[in-house]
């Protein structure tokens, strides 16, 4: 009864198909699939609408299992990507609709609260993260030996690639999902053993780079209070990381972050 009469909204979500393989009865080839996507995108359909049409009218449960790519990536490669990301577009559309409703119903407190939630979703920052592969064993189809892997790491490190960049190249171009499952060691340890480790730890380097970029932005936009606050957060993270790396021995004890000379560290 409480659920029936409460003002709470529903929870919208979609479920991915359990089986990731393409069904045997599906006659649509990847080329046919891409051609359909092109035609639908030309008509002005969004990626999610294209996905629904392909699922309901052609039996393609997940386009990426058939073509090897998501709809948005295919549409982008065709030069037909929408100007705004789809989720952001619909949030803005929702906010506009709620505002129009509030102009007619000024005392609707629930809608005022919903508008705050919608607009906070529009303006908030994203959460970046990566997911480790579920299977920890090396796949049978991988022909790259641990020695080949180390040789590739050496070549890429000599070219100036960072450990994370090396990991991305090995994953995308050579099918090595996790280097430590293949070689028994992380990329940074392998690079260190070869004497090619970066002067600054990678996470600290990118935080300093970010702080330098925010400082340059603040020189041009002195009243940007949000960026001032973000700079405080980034620099506090730099100081905490520096203390950790000094204790670990990765940085010399006399190393110190100074905002005036930070740009020289990431030049």
Read off the pLDDT of residues 207-246 as tens digits, 9 standing for 90 and up: 999 999 999 999 999 999 999 999 999 999 999 999 999 9
Asked, for residue 2, whether it belongs to a domain, the answer is no
Query: Are 174 and 205 found together in one domain?
Result: no
Asked, for residue 92, whether it belongs to a domain, the answer is yes
d(CA 164, CA 206) in angstroms, rounded, equals 12
Asked, for residue 5, whether it belongs to a domain, the answer is no
Q: Which residue has the tokens 């393989």?
A: 21
Asked, for residue 13, whether it belongs to a domain, the answer is no
| Spatial CA neighbour of 202 closest among 188, 186, 213, 185 | 188
d(CA 60, CA 66) in angstroms, rounded, equals 8
Query: Are 231 and 261 found together in one domain?
Result: yes
Asked, for residue 16, whether it belongs to a domain, the answer is no
Q: Exposed (0-12), middle (13-18) or buried (19+): which is 50, by Cβ within 10 Å?
A: buried
Query: Are 38 and 97 found together in one domain?
Result: no
pLDDT of residue 232: 94
Q: Which residues of the chain have pLDDT under 70?
A: 1-20, 125-130
Asked, for residue 65, whether it belongs to a domain, the answer is yes
Query: Are 203 and 257 found together in one domain?
Result: yes
Domain of residue 239, CATH code: 1.10.287.10
HSE of 160, CA atoms in CB hemisphere, 13 A = 0
Residue 171: give the domain boundaries. Answer: 146-194
d(CA 88, CA 125) in angstroms, rounded, equals 12
Query: Are 70 and 35 found together in one domain?
Result: yes
| Spatial CA neighbour of 50 closest among 35, 36, 67 | 36
pLDDT of residue 117: 83
Asked, for residue 17, whether it belongs to a domain, the answer is no
Number of domains present in the structure of the chain: 4
Contact predicate 39/32, CB 8 Å = no
Asked, for residue 43, whether it belongs to a domain, the answer is yes
pLDDT of residue 188: 93
Longest dimension (CA), the chain: 70
């Amino acid at each position: 009864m409480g659920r029936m009469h409460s003002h709470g909204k529903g929870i919208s979500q979609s479920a991915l198909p359990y089986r990731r393989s393409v069904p045997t009865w599906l006659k649509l080839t990847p080329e046919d699939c891409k051609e359909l996507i092109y035609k639908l995108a030309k008509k002005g359909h969004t990626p999610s609408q294209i996905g629904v049409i392909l699922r309901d009218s052609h039996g393609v449960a997940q386009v990426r299992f058939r073509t090897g790519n998501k709809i948005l990536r295919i549409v982008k490669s065709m030069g037909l990507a929408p100007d705004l990301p789809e989720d952001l577009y619909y949030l803005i559309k929702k906010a506009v609709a709620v505002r129009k409703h509030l102009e007619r119903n000024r005392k609707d407190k629930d809608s005022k609260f919903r508008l705050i939630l919608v607009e906070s979703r529009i303006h908030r920052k994203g959460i970046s993260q990566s997911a480790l592969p579920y299977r920890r064993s090396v796949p049978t189809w991988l022909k790259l030996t641990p020695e080949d892997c180390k040789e590739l790491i050496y070549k890429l490190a000599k070219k100036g690639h960072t450990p994370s960049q090396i990991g991305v190249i090995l994953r995308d171009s050579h099918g090595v999902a996790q280097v430590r499952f293949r070689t028994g060691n992380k990329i940074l340890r392998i690079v260190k053993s070869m004497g090619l480790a970066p002067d600054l730890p990678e996470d600290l380097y990118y935080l300093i780079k970010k702080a330098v970029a925010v400082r340059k932005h603040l020189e041009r936009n002195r009243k940007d209070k949000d960026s001032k606050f973000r700079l405080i957060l980034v620099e506090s993270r730099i100081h905490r990381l520096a203390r950790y790396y000094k204790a670990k021995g990765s940085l010399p004890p006399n190393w110190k972050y100074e905002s005036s000379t930070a740009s020289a560290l990431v030049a």
